A and B are shown apart, each in its own frame.
Chain A
Amino acid sequence: MQHWIIAPIILPALMGPFITLAMRHDVTLQRVASLASAVLLVGLTGALLVSAAGGNVESYELGSWPAPFGIVLVLDRLSALMVTLTAVLGLVVLAYAVATNWDQRGRNFHALYQFQLMGLFGAMLTGDIFNLFVFFEILLIASYGLMTHGGGRMRLRGGVQYVIYNLAGSTLFLFALGTLYAVFGTLNMADLAERAAELPAGDGALLRVTAVLLLLVFVLKGALLPMHFWLPNTYALAPAPVAALFAVMTKVGAYSVIRVFTLIFPVTLAPMGGLVADVVVPAALVTLAIGMIGVLGGGTLARTVSFAAIGSMGTLFLAIGTFSELATGAALYYLIHSTLATAALFLVVDQVRARRGNSALVPQAPLVRSGLVAAFFFAAAIAMAGMPPLSGFLGKLMVLQAVRQADWWVWGWAFILVTSLIAVVGFARAGSVLFWRPHDNNTPAPSDEFQIAPGTLSGWGMAALGGLLALIVALTVAAGPVTGYTNATAAQLYAPQGYIYAVLGTPEERAARLAAEEARADDLHGADHGAPAHSDAPATSEGH
């Protein structure tokens, strides 16, 4: 299993340039290569998921540089779950983009898509926090290209906003990393976890500053209030398949929060206290409220769905901010659901645009062939709002149950239940305007929400959308095994010793390795007759 961990990063990293360089002029070849890569990635990550499900943590040392000096990739239940989710979503969305010709609206869609996947997989697998920054940059650079794919006046302006917001976020990330390195002298996450636990009490303030800086960066990615401003315009203006793929980008922020704040800064760490939860929980409550109120007043279906995505991040962060095993298990189930539901809704938006030219929520001439789209919208909206019988209901139920343990549970319940009602009303309004309202053929179409060119009508595109909804149904039917896995994941996260030992070795292994090093150094020393012993400890191996 050893080398397979890096395969999901290597494959798209090779495929991206290959598509650009060798297949530039052949659309069919590009599509075949891109889809083949996406299918392979689903297989690869599926194998990783099976391998991680047993509960052992595997660490892969790049270039065989031993752990705190070199970069490691770590496969545990959480990262396996995230990469599999990304690969599956990536395949479905790519199939949709190919079927609706979105990939031909501009150049280099497929190469950028591969790089986007590479960045996502890297961020989820890496065990080194500076490397996490590098993979964040890779996925962002690719996302800048994808977001402005196809061009157009408004999309470019939205792109500028998105890029600037994220560049500010990256700078903040670097400030956090600088502080982290100044305090601990290491960037390996397992090593950081050990050193944070041993930090003298006087340095608690530095620890808290670093933790909050990192938290800001991650919640910016996760669109938690007040860092959510980039999301509505970006998602509404991006090409719809790209917006659907971006559903997993906000989840990378959530993943990083879970990873860093269970491993490096757990709630059990004395200087941290309840700091992170005290910040995240109120912010999550407001995010939930703002998101779902936005669903009610979005004005266009695209913005409505964007705000629903913000609202679902609120629910997710509420569960994450509870920081208990039960709540994290619930959060992970909700995370899978929310990714699939958001992506499905954005594909519905694209199909609505393809039929009426825009997604403005005002009565217009009837949609052509709207039956299936209406049904898909209905299903996706039910899932997103958290109505039974789909997985959104189960996810919210689990979150409610987990939040019940916290002493602020009344607030959590009130916000989740009331905002669910608001979301139901919002989606019902949007759906009835789009599909049911008595139509007036003479109403002039609004000059368009943002002059977004719609996708094309395509049976295969509808099939891809149906596939996404089938995944939501499967997630509901298989809720038992899936929650079994997410709860096991949470248990693994709250016992970080396994992760640390897998990366750095158990204390006995480390002692043995140190003894071997010393014996080797003595040998060299003896052979050189007292020549100055050059240390070949790879202290500079962070080959960024």
Chain B
Amino acid sequence: MEALVAIAIGAMTASGVYLMLRLRTFPVVLGLSMLTYAVNVFIFASGRLVAGAPPILGAAPTMTDPLPQALVLTAIVISFGMTALTVILALGSYLNAGTDQIDIERPGEQPDADN
């Protein structure tokens, strides 16, 4: 189980970083979401992986650490809100500027029309 989770986190992080380095807003937003998924699973795993145990002390012979679950909830809420905000901001910027490129031309430069 550990290997599977580790590989999943690694793959998601790698794809997230790759997408985040793209030039257009949409892949970047996807990349950010991918990265936040990866980090959420990572935080969840930081309390050690225990299968089928409740997060309550004394209710069963083994227990799982409840704190990372609380932390990951916070992280999910924040990243969810942030993704929504980024999409709105990117949309506003696209509608205003007519381009969804991330980089900004220097003053006086013409925006790249064809890409």
Contacts and interface: CB of A to CB of B under 8 A. Distances in A.
Contacts of A532: 58
A1 B57 CA distance: 37
B7 interface: no
Contacts of B102: 160-161, 164
Interface residues of A, number: 50
Contacts of B66: 539-540
Contacts, number: 126
Contact of B97 (A148, A153, A181, A448): A153
Given A182-B46, A233-B104, A448-B107, A157 B97 contact: yes
- B interface majority secondary structure: helix
B85 interface: yes
The interface centre, meaning the residue of A141, A178, A533 with most chain B CB atoms within 10 A of its CB, is A178
A343 interface: no
Using C-beta atoms within 8 Å of the partner chain, give the interface range for chain B. Answer: 35 or more
Contacts of A161: 102-104
Given A137-B78, A542-B70, A535 B46 contact: no
- A interface majority secondary structure: helix
A167 interface: yes
B90 to A, nearest CB: 5
Interface string A166-196: 0110110011011101100101000000000
B115 interface: no
B104 A134 contact: no
B74 A544 contact: yes
B46 A157 contact: no
Contacts of A491: none
10 contacts: A130-B71, A153-B96, A154-B97, A159-B89, A163-B82, A163-B86, A168-B32, A174-B43, A175-B39, A299-B107
Interface of B: 20, 25, 28, 32, 35-36, 39-40, 42-43, 45-48, 55, 57-58, 65-68, 70-71, 73-75, 78-79, 81-82, 85-86, 89-90, 92-93, 96-97, 102-104, 106-108
Given A153-B97, A161-B103, A544-B73, 17 more contacts: A144-B89, A153-B96, A157-B97, A160-B86, A163-B82, A163-B85, A168-B20, A171-B39, A174-B39, A174-B43, A185-B65, A448-B107, A533-B58, A535-B57, A535-B58, A537-B57, A544-B71
